[in-house]
Structure formats: structure tokens, C-alpha cells
Amino acid sequence: MRCSVDAYELVTNAIEIAKNDWDSQEQSWDYVCSPLLEHNSTQLLRNIYKQKINTNIKLVETLLLIENTINNIFIDKLQLDKTIIKAVLQSEITLLCNPNYRYKNIQDHTDLTNKYYTDITIDILSYIIGCMMGRYSLDREGLVYAHEGNKGFAELVAEDAYKTFPADNDGILPLMDDEWFDDDVTSRVKEFVRTVWGEEHLQENLEFIAESLCLYAIKPKKGESALDTIRRYLSTQFWKDHMKMYKKRPIYWLFSSGKEKAFECLVYLHRYNDATLARMRTEYVVPLLARYQANIDRLNEQVDGASGGEATRLKRERDSLSKKFNELRSFDDRLRHYADMRISIDLDDGVKVNYGKFGDLLADVKAITGNAPEII
């Protein structure tokens, strides 16, 4: 049986819709940028989200109509109307922009909407970090840097590939629960939001991002500022979502001092080279050790002059900082050992092999490589 012209055109349209849907995901080779950047008629993220959802609804309805029409064409031609149910359900439209398909286990409409808002926010934060790393850029579409060993990156910078929102100069991003460094991830998220959507609505947009994260990704915390909420997500949950997005083959690697989280940072594997660990140590870990020690000394002086509840609070803060200091000192010893080895990686070996070369400097080694990390 030959396909009718109408059926062929419908199938072509359906394929195009499905491909565009997949290409809106960061994992696609044809990913251009965050879909939120395509809605530029407003600077309010709240309205941009609504526009995106309305666009998605239209796409789902269009594909639903196409699939039902195609079914009807062939059911009629093959005279199967008595044996086959014609109607395709909305939950069967296999687009990632279709919440009814994407979250089949969520029945409540409000929960479903909240989950989708949260996932849109997780995706934009991942894109923002990609721009920080130089993987993406506001000045160029698609994958901008995915070479090996940071080779050619300086040339891209010289060509103004990252003019609007500068990429991090070393591909090392501190992922901390406080602002210890100039290239702190949370501070740069704020910078990105200001750059793209303007100063006028900056606070409102940050609050909306924080609210969206608290719908499903993290629990809301009373009295917490929007920026602190975003920081809490980035320092506690982003890595888990990144692992899930890339199916335990992360492109941003989490170096972690341990359970106290005295120091954590992301490193873009395509920009890693044999000097990265030495730079991590001299530019981040050693200065942070000095800052921790200075704060401990300050707290010791304050404890001596305090009493009652205030003294208890200061001691608790000092003890917490002391644990971090000790953990970071141990991490520094191990980091120095690996930095002296000047470890190189070969991207052709894959994430599983390369991730296992750094002992316990990295988080979740066993989950990624299948083996427990080497302890030195």
C-alpha cells in the first residue's frame, strides 16, 4: 500500500516536531541554547515560563492531531475501524515538553505543573553553568568548546566568543555554601540573570528561580534569601541532577574534600589538563585554608569575650569551621600528591576510565566507575 501525500506530509511534520523537542535538550548534539532565551518579548522569567508552557501546549496539541489523523488515514484504508481504537491520548505524545508524558507517575495537575517548573529551572541553571565553563556562549549558538586539554580555548576568548558573558578563565568553578571566591558559581548565576534579563527585574527573577527550585528540587527554608536558596540548590543538589542528566557520565566533575564540604568545585572535563590540579590547589585550596584559619582565630577571640548563649553559638561556629579546616588540610595533602603526578586524560577513553584516575579527590567515584576510589 502506497502512502498518501497527506500521510507523508503529516509524518514529516511529526518527525520535525519530535526532533525539535529533543534538540531543546542539552544532551542533543544539535542543542543551540536554552529554550528560555528564545522568548525575548519580556524580561520577566515568570512570563517567559508561561510563554514556553503555552508554546509546548500548542506543540503537543499539534502532534496529537497529527498522530490521530495518521491513524485515521490508515485505519480507514485498511478497514480496521472495528478492531483498532482510533484515539491517541495526550499522555501518549512522547515529547519531553509534554508533562503528561514526561511525568506519568504524577497524577495531580498542580504537582505535575510544579515538577515541570522545577525542571525548566534545573535546565536553565545547567545551561548557565555551561556558559560559565565555556561549553556554551551567549555570542555563539550550539556547542562552543568541547575539545581536549583546554587547547584552543584562549583563541576563542581572543575571538570574543564569550564577550557578552565571559567564560571562567580556568574551567574551575567553586561550588560552595558561602561566597569565598570571586568566581563563585552562585554569584555568577546572578551575573548571568542580570546580563540576559536586565537589572530592572533582577531581584524578581532571582526570587522566581528560587521559588521554582523549592517547588520540587529542594525544600523551602523560612527566612532564606533568593540567592541563598539558589546557592543551597547548587551546593547540595545540582551535582545529583547533573549525574542524572548525563546518566552517570558527567561532563562537569565534582572535586570534593569530603562530607564536611570544606571545599568543592566543578571542573569541565574538556578544559582539564595536567596543570588543573596544581592551579586548583594554589588558587583555591591554599587560600581557603588561610581564610578558614583566620576565621577560627577570630572566633576564638570572640569566644573569650562572650558568655551564655552567644558563647555557645560562637563555639558551635568555631567547631564547625575547625572540622572543615582539618578536612581541607587532609584534602590539600592528597591534592598535592595528584598535582605532582600531572595526570592527563584521554577523552577517547571515556568518562568511566578517566574519572577513576584521581583517587578520592572526586565525588561518587564508585557510582561512575564501578570501583571504590584508590586511597592514598
Residue 39 lies in a domain: yes
The rounded distance, in Å, linking the Cα atoms of 21 and 93 is 12
Instruction: Report the candidate in 252, 260, 250, 207 with the shortest Cα–Cα distance to residue 230.
Output: 207
Q: Which helix (H) or strand (E) holds 265?
A: strand 264-268
Half-sphere CA count of 226, side-chain side, radius 13 A: 15
Instruction: Report the candidate in 151, 144, 148, 110 with the shortest Cα–Cα distance to residue 127.
Output: 144
pLDDT digits (tens, 9 = 90+) for 318-331: 999 999 999 999 99
Strand 172-174 relative to strand 252-256, pairing: unpaired
Residue 141 lies in a domain: no
Residue 93 lies in a domain: yes
Report the pLDDT value the prediction gives residue 5, as an integer from 0 to 100. 57
By the 8 A CB rule, do 35 and 22 touch?
no
Among the candidates 67, 102, 137, a domain finishes at 102
Residue 280 lies in a domain: yes
**How wide is the angle at C-alpha 342 spanned by C-alphas 376 and 144, nearest 5°?**
120
Residue 91 lies in a domain: yes
| Helix residue ranges, H only, the chain | 5-23, 45-77, 99-102, 109-133, 153-158, 185-197, 202-216, 226-236, 238-245, 276-280, 286-304, 308-341, 350-355, 365-369
pLDDT digits (tens, 9 = 90+) for 280-322: 999 999 999 999 999 999 999 898 887 788 888 999 999 999 9
By the 8 A CB rule, do 237 and 245 touch?
no
- Give residue 248's identity as a one-letter amino acid code: K
Among the candidates 56, 79, 102, a domain finishes at 102
- pTM for the full model? 0.94
Q: How far apart are the first and last CA of the chain?
A: 68
The rounded distance, in Å, linking the Cα atoms of 213 and 275 is 36
Instruction: Report the candidate in 41, 69, 27 with the shortest Cα–Cα distance to residue 250.
Output: 27
By the 8 A CB rule, do 217 and 241 touch?
yes
Report the pLDDT value the prediction gives residue 202, as an integer from 0 to 100. 97
Report the pLDDT value the prediction gives residue 343, as an integer from 0 to 100. 97
Task: Give the residue numbers spanning the domain of 52.
Answer: 1-102
Q: How many domains does the chain have?
A: 2
By the 8 A CB rule, do 178 and 285 touch?
no
Residue 363 lies in a domain: yes
Residue 314 lies in a domain: yes
Residue 51 lies in a domain: yes
The rounded distance, in Å, linking the Cα atoms of 25 and 17 is 13
User: pLDDT below 50 — which residues of the chain?
Assistant: none
- Give residue 255's identity as a one-letter amino acid code: F
DSSP 3-state of 362 = strand
* Cβ partners under 8 Å of residue 139, min gap 6: 160, 161, 162, 163, 164
Among the candidates 71, 102, 133, a domain finishes at 102
